[in-house]
Structure 1
Amino acid sequence: MSQSTFEHLDHVTLEGWLDNGQPLTLVDIRDPLSFSRGHIPGSCHVDNATVGDLVDQAPGDQPMVVVCYHGHSSQQAAEWLIGQGFTRVYSLDGGFVGWEANHPHRVER
């Protein structure tokens, strides 16, 4: 049975996944300037123009973590991705702001 909604993910769990080399797709939906000023290493910037490529190319068998500014917009995006057939979609609680506050050494600029 596939899940019908996204799940919340805290920054500590994401850090553990990254430390353990967990295969995942990190999707940053913030604006391009914010992304260029700092993002979680390994994340890809996705917007309305590139979301189709993400849907076509992202592996469906691994977790997908959606990151926005504060963890609100990512919930809507994660729910939309569930509707596109992805089954393991997570919204990062606290968003990039929370990640940067807790893991400033793990921000790529």
Structure 2
Amino acid sequence: MTTFQHLDISTLARWLDERRGLALVDIRDPQSFAQGHIPGSRPLDNDTVGAFIEEASHEAPLVVVCYHGHSSQQAAAWLAGQGFAEVYSLDGGFTDWQIRHPDRVER
């Protein structure tokens, strides 16, 4: 069975600093996303996931962000099942990111 890996916030911050080619998707509700998100992330929901699966590289690392790192695990497992080779769930989610990197929140 295809599965996902856990990713900690410091590793994601380093990957972004290194400009590593990765896809960063945020599965929180649109209003929360609009109020703040990790730079470079794109919203992903039931309406946009089909297009995302068609457009996105299935070889590049894919990081899934939610509020606290819980629902992203289910989404990451599902996306791994859609053929993405390297899928991560961000531990602590956006809430933890915002606490640890308040200067790295895009609005």
TM-score (norm 1): 0.96
What residue in structure 1 maps to residue 51 of structure 2?
A: 53
Matched, 1:101 2:99: yes
Matched with 2:90 is: 92
SS of the residue corresponding to residue 91 of structure 1 reads strand
SS of the aligned residue for 1:26 comes to: strand
Corresponding position of 1:16: 14
- Compute the RMSD of aligned alpha carbons: 0.9
Equivalent residue, structure 2, for 1:37 = 35
4+ residue stretches of structure 1 with deviation over 2 A? Answer: none
Q: Which residue does the alignment assign to 1:73? A: 71
Sequence identity (%)? 64
| SS of the residue 2:72 aligns to | helix
Gaps of 5+ in 1: none
How far does residue 60 in structure 1 lie from its aligned partner after superposition?
1.1
The Cα of 1:94 is off from its aligned counterpart by: 0.2
SS at match of 1:22: coil
Counterpart of 2:62 (choices 58, 61, 64) is 64
Equivalents in 2 of 1:59, 1:4: separation in Å? 17
**Alignment deviations for residues 5-63 of structure 1 (CA, whole Å, 9 cap, x no partner):** 10000000000000001000000000000000000000000110000011101111110
Amino acid at match of 1:50: T
Structure 2 unaligned residues grouped into runs of 5+: none
